Structure 1
Amino acid sequence: MKATQQEVSVELRAGRPVRLTWGERHYPVSLILDSWRYGGRWWLGEAPRNCFLVQCGTLTAELHQESVPLGRWFIARLQD
């Protein structure tokens, strides 16, 4: 997996990702491989976040959402 931090839009159902939009492309989530809560590096001012490792066809993405009001979604790691 390569490290990245690109913003994405994520559609949720019951609090879990079902589709992500990255650039102009839409990727339906076929499988959630893992989920966890990351506390953030508080000493650097990072907000805690919810994390999901998802499979979207041949694309595997680690998605993070900042746990603040209207927290942004971003891809932390990606493998295609």
Structure 2
Amino acid sequence: MKAILELIEVQSDPAGEPRRFRFRQQVYTVTAVVERWLYGGQWWRNESPRRCYRVEAEGLMAELHVEDGPGGRWWLAAIQD
């Protein structure tokens, strides 16, 4: 997978899982959530805990992260097409 680390817009379902995301002016629909995990963050770098998802979306595999808590930012961590 290629590291990206770019903030993105994500539409999530009521449970908070990603369903659609925009990356570089293109919208991708998530067809499957392949893996989920929690990451506690590096406290010494003031990183927030986050939920992570590996998803299939229209011909590519992507790793999406969202910070825990209200207003948590989403970003695309990595992509493989």
Quick check: TM above 0.5?
Answer: yes
TM norm structure 2: 0.92
Other structure's SS at 2:44 match: helix
Q: Who is 2:37 aligned against? A: 36
How much identity, in percent, do the aligned residues show? 43
Q: Who is 2:80 aligned against? A: 79
CA distance in 2, matches of 1:69, 1:15: 11
Deviation at 1:68, TM superposition (A): 3.4
RMSD between aligned residues: 1.0
CA distance in 2, matches of 1:73, 1:42: 19
TM norm structure 1: 0.93
Moved over 3 A (4+): none
Higher strand share: 1
Cα offsets for 1:40-59 (capped at 9, x unmatched): 01111100001100000211
Deviation at 1:69, TM superposition (A): 2.6
Unaligned runs of 5+ in 2: none
Q: Who is 2:11 aligned against? A: 11
